[in-house]
A and B are shown apart, each in its own frame.
Chain A
Amino acid sequence: MSEGEIRVRVMLPRALLEYSGGEDSVEMTAGTLAEVIVQLNSRFPGIGERILDDRGQLRKFVHTFVNQDSVSHLEPESVPLHPGDTVHILPSVAGG
């Protein structure tokens, strides 16, 4: 790993494993949540559409965390990542 490179881990939910070929944990270099999604879609074509809607926004019932912190309410471009972060992409709780 070169100096300044931001290596993060991305945890994928079961529903998206058909896109990732079964990989539920992916490592990559990314400085923002938006870059994570771009790289995921590059590696696993189609997975980006499952996470973002046609407007490029996180889907309504997709919940994202950086480590333990929810970032679903933020624009993916405005979510900075730091070396060693873990990004969780999860379905939000549906129903009551």
Chain B
Amino acid sequence: MADVRKGDTVIVVGTRKGLFIFHSGDRRNWKSRGPFFEGQTIKHAILDPEEGRDVWAGVVTGHWGPTIQRSMDFGESWIRGKRDPHFSKESGLSVDRIWQIQPDLDGNLWAGVEPAGLFRSEDGGETWASVDGLNYRPDRREWQPGAGGLCLHTILPYPDDPRRMVVGISAVGVLGTNDGGRSWRVMNGDVRADFLPEKVTEEDQIGSCVHKIVRDSANPAILYQQNHCGVYRRQRGDPAWKAIERGLPATFGFPMAAHPRKAGTVYTVPLVSDFNRVTPGASMAVYRTTNGGGSWERLSTGLPQEGAYLTILREGMRTDQNDPLGVYVGTKNGQLYYSRDEGESWETMADLLPPIQSVDAGVAGGP
């Protein structure tokens, strides 16, 4: 297990040029490992949240296509499955990038890819099965990419019901299943879409540019969404999304992270707009709601407040499972900031990394 000890907080950072792992026993003194996969883009990498042992990485090379690789010793060695997620030859589609790797509580591993597709592995990443009910929907021909590509970037299994799942596809929207993936319904009601003639999407209308979705930890039937055009909340049974933007300096942004224990507590990092994807006022701040989006507070102690034109991507923020909570934010500019007091104050873990694509946090050996 290399020099990582059981109980260490482990931060897995995917960048444009390799994978870095940081770990610490006290969240003050950090050691780094890597880079692994030097020169290759890691769109998403995670530490298995339950066992806290396996690191999974979606590796993209410029020439040779994507692979999903697994390390069981914090990067000392990596193994590939027999075959990576792939579309059928007849579909005319081919996987370009891995955008999301997500385990569920039933031992399955899920992958979201570009062009948008969802795949499930029941054998620890050895083989992958296409979720055909989503991947080959008749309306697929109408799916349009966002600026980052036509990607399935968010996978949210439901904690107590393997039949339920929600996914996010840019720029298609939020889709949910209640039958284990056989059928999916679009869930885009009342979401602004400034780039469409009608400006707002109907519930079953595709074309919403979802950036990130998270579940409320205390009530997983509540979803929070950072969209291209706003910030929203929705509870199961609601006919549409409700805007929860009051108190935020901008409605545009990418990442979202939910507190793993506290109801209604969610973090986001607003950016100026889609035409200027940098932190507002050239100052870095994380915003937190503790009442389900009723209000937001600005958290910036220790973060740069002048000359900080930073961009945070959709996988650029994550919490750990510690108490008090750790929050980790990686920027496209190469800084990795962290808080070990739920966001009240921040420090810099690294500031010269390659552009950060994803951040994950967990505990070695499990929480």
A interface residue numbers (CB < 8 A to B): 15-16, 45-46, 49-51, 53-57, 59, 61-62, 91-92, 94
Residues from chain A with a CB closer than 8 A to the CB of B137 are: none
Residues from chain B with a CB closer than 8 A to the CB of A51 are: 64
Bitwise, B77-99 to A at CB < 8 A (1) or not (0) is: 00010111011110111110000
Interface contact B62-A54, CB-CB below 8 Å: no
Interface contact A53-B61, CB-CB below 8 Å: no
Known: A45-B82, A49-B84. A54 touches B63 (CB 8 A): no
Residues from chain B with a CB closer than 8 A to the CB of A53 are: 65, 94-95
Interface contact B93-A54, CB-CB below 8 Å: yes
A57 vs B93: C-alpha distance in the bound complex, in angstroms?
Answer: 11
Contact of B64 (CB < 8 Å), options: A15, A55, A56, A57: A15
Interface contact A15-B63, CB-CB below 8 Å: yes
Closest A residue, CB atoms, query B83: A49
Residues from chain B with a CB closer than 8 A to the CB of A56 are: 89
Known: A54-B93, A54-B95. A59 touches B64 (CB 8 A): yes
Residues from chain A with a CB closer than 8 A to the CB of B82 are: 45-46
Which are the 5 A-B pairs with shortest beta-carbon distances? Answer: A53-B94, A54-B94, A91-B63, A50-B64, A61-B63
Residues from chain A with a CB closer than 8 A to the CB of B62 are: 61, 91, 94
Main SS class of interface, B: loop
What band does the interface of chain B fall in when counting residues whose beta carbon is under 8 Å from A?
Answer: 10 to 19
Closest B residue, CB atoms, query A46: B80
A53 vs B94: C-alpha distance in the bound complex, in angstroms?
Answer: 6
Residues from chain A with a CB closer than 8 A to the CB of B93 are: 54-55
Residues from chain A with a CB closer than 8 A to the CB of B80 are: 46
CB distance from A29 to the nearest CB of B (A): 25
Interface contact B89-A59, CB-CB below 8 Å: no
CB distance from B62 to the nearest CB of A (A): 5
21 A-B pairs, CB-CB below 8 angstroms?
A: A15-B61, A15-B63, A15-B64, A45-B82, A46-B82, A49-B83, A50-B64, A51-B64, A53-B65, A53-B95, A54-B86, A54-B87, A54-B88, A54-B93, A55-B92, A61-B63, A62-B63, A91-B63, A92-B63, A94-B62, A94-B63
A61 vs B61: C-alpha distance in the bound complex, in angstroms?
Answer: 10
Residues from chain B with a CB closer than 8 A to the CB of A59 are: 63-65
The residues in B between 43 and 91 inclusive whose CB is less than 8 angstroms from any CB of A are: 61-65, 67, 80, 82-84, 86-89, 91
CB distance from A31 to the nearest CB of B (A): 22
A62 vs B63: C-alpha distance in the bound complex, in angstroms?
Answer: 6
Closest B residue, CB atoms, query A53: B94
Residues from chain B with a CB closer than 8 A to the CB of A45 are: 82
Closest B residue, CB atoms, query A60: B63
CB distance from B67 to the nearest CB of A (A): 8
Residues from chain B with a CB closer than 8 A to the CB of A91 are: 62-64
A45 vs B126: C-alpha distance in the bound complex, in angstroms?
Answer: 13
Closest B residue, CB atoms, query A94: B62
CB distance from A30 to the nearest CB of B (A): 21
Residues from chain A with a CB closer than 8 A to the CB of B83 are: 46, 49
